[in-house]
Chains A and B, each alone.
Chain A
Amino acid sequence: MRIVHHPVLGEQPAARTVEVTVDGRKVVAREGETIAAALMAAGIKVHRYTRRKGAPRGLFCAIGQCTDCVMIVNGMPNVRTCVTPVADGMTVETQRGGGPAQAGGNTRRRSAGSGDRVRDGDD
């Protein structure tokens, strides 16, 4: 849900909209916002499934550190959706494991950051 009225920030200013495709579904986003924000506004919370257990993961740190929210964006896996802005015509796909190998995904282990914020060994 978008926060249109806010007691401190006021009314949300108008913005140009862009259209992105998420797993085949058209989602209207505000220009300049992150992919994660557009997804959350559209009610989409699952960004990926882990490699071994197939466990769902979504937004966790929202500042590009934990890499839990990575998805396949324009065919490229492991894109941090919480810091990457939307663009018109962008395709976004739910990622399974490291993403498709032919697209540069690493099926053994995610190549995107593997810091202390990774939430367990099941990348």
Chain B
Amino acid sequence: MTEFDVAVIGAGPAGLAASIEAARRGCRVLLMDSNLRPGGQLVKQIHKFFGSKEHRAGTRGIDIAVGLHREALEAGVVFWPDTSVYGVFPGGALGAVRGMLGGEPRGVVVRASTLILATGASENAVNFPGWTLPGVMGAGAAQTMINVERVLPGRKVLMVGSGNVGLIVSYQLMQAGADVEAVVEALPRVGGYGVHAAKISRAGVPILTSHTVLRAFGETEITGAEIARIDESWTPVPGTSRRVDADLICIAAGLRPYARLAMLAGCRMTYSSALGGWLPLHDRAMRTSVPGVYVAGDVGGVEEASTALEEGRIAGISASERLGMIGAADAARDREEAEARLSSLRMGPFGRPRYDAKEAIYEEGANACPRP
């Protein structure tokens, strides 16, 4: 049995930030991640972030991850990589397996009175005949292969989905040496930022709105796909289908909160279409309906790395408050600073719907999430 004040699950931007804030306020913090290296999805972000300086605009995600990890260790955070938490038990005990990826797997029980869940999100899938064939994968999977493993998963690519993930991964696949044959988007408009769409459009990649993939061709690996125009009711328009040769079909159909541990912990769940689906209800201080359990980052609603980081800070401050490391007034003041930065990130045509959705969650959570 290992005992800590705060257990943080997930070492992406949210979990790292939460750990840093809690450790700096005197909490004994254990940060766990199922992967071998910290950083979550930051490690495959090789594009420069934009926004304001305080949100590390101009810095590549991979460098942000290295910096946060160093800050966490300097603050005294204990980091356990290769640790999969499988159970949340009453009374603050966690069941975990360490060493599944390297060495001998062994079970451990971790005791911590305060829990911060920063488990992130998982990619949505799109089902079509042939979608289980090798060569069809999540856009995030392709991104991991090219940017982390530096192996090209295909040379001729069909990208399904034109949100920011679809657009950015298309561009990064081209940087890695692949040809992107087309991006298909079921909606009548491009989903992601214009700046990302322009980059691939300039390079000659057609972004086909009101189009979808009907099937993938191939026996043991894909050889191509059939795409077609769809009408307002998402029905393929007869006579518009055509074949695209491809050895890689990437699915970029959005993300959903990866909230299994939150459910295990007994957190009340709520649904938000704008934030990716079912998520643990929480208030502005990132408290859930279960006393001592906090959330931060995509698990509490899919947004972006910079918002995850700020939510992590807030959760770390709230955990410190609960443990008596800081008073209520100090905690409120510290949170306010992060909240102001969060609001500035939730502006504009893409940010505003997330701002509204988050405010609705906070409002619902205000009554359901007990204060310390």
A108 within 8 A of B: no
Residues on the A chain within 8 Å of B190, using CB: none
Residues on the A chain within 8 Å of B137, using CB: 58-62
A100 within 8 A of B: no
Contact of A85 (CB < 8 Å), options: B101, B136, B147: B101
A28 within 8 A of B: no
Let me know if A37 and B149 touch, CB within 8 A: yes
How many angstroms between the C-alpha atoms of A112 and B25 in the bound complex? Answer: 39
Size category of the A interface is 35 or more
Let me know if A85 and B36 touch, CB within 8 A: yes
Residues on the B chain within 8 Å of A104, using CB: none
The 0/1 profile, CB within 8 Å of A marked 1, for residues 95-137 of chain B is 0000001100000000000000000001101000001111111
Q: Is the interface of A mostly helix, strand, loop or mixed?
A: loop
Residues on the B chain within 8 Å of A56, using CB: 133-134, 220-221
B11 to chain A, nearest CB (A): 13
B145 within 8 A of A: yes
How many angstroms between the C-alpha atoms of A61 and B125 in the bound complex? Answer: 10
Residues on the B chain within 8 Å of A33, using CB: 149, 151
- Enumerate A9-39 residues with CB–CB distance to B below 8 Å: 9, 12, 33-34, 36-37
Contact of B147 (CB < 8 Å), options: A9, A34, A46: A9
A21 to chain B, nearest CB (A): 19
Residues on the B chain within 8 Å of A1, using CB: 151-152, 155, 177
How many angstroms between the C-alpha atoms of A107 and B68 in the bound complex? Answer: 44
Let me know if A63 and B153 touch, CB within 8 A: no
Contact of A65 (CB < 8 Å), options: B122, B133, B147: B122
Residues on the B chain within 8 Å of A40, using CB: 145, 149, 151-153
Let me know if B46 and A8 touch, CB within 8 A: yes
Residues on the B chain within 8 Å of A55, using CB: 132
B34 within 8 A of A: yes
Let me know if A61 and B101 touch, CB within 8 A: no
Residues on the B chain within 8 Å of A7, using CB: 175
B118 to chain A, nearest CB (A): 15
Give the residue name and chain of the A residue nearest to B82 (CB).
A83
- Enumerate B45-99 residues with CB–CB distance to A below 8 Å: 46-47, 60
Task: List the 9 closest pairs (A to B, CB-CB), nearest first.
Answer: A58-B134, A62-B141, A37-B149, A45-B134, A62-B144, A3-B150, A1-B152, A56-B220, A41-B151
Known: A59-B134, A65-B122. 19 other contacts (CB 8 A): A6-B150, A8-B46, A8-B60, A9-B46, A33-B149, A36-B145, A37-B150, A45-B135, A45-B221, A46-B220, A56-B220, A58-B135, A59-B137, A63-B35, A63-B141, A82-B141, A83-B34, A83-B36, A119-B132
Interface residues of B (CB under 8 A from A): 34-36, 46-47, 60, 101-102, 122-123, 125, 131-138, 140-142, 144-147, 149-153, 155, 175-177, 220-221, 258, 260
Interface residues of A (CB under 8 A from B): 1-4, 6-9, 12, 33-34, 36-37, 40-41, 45-47, 55-65, 68, 82-85, 115-117, 119-120
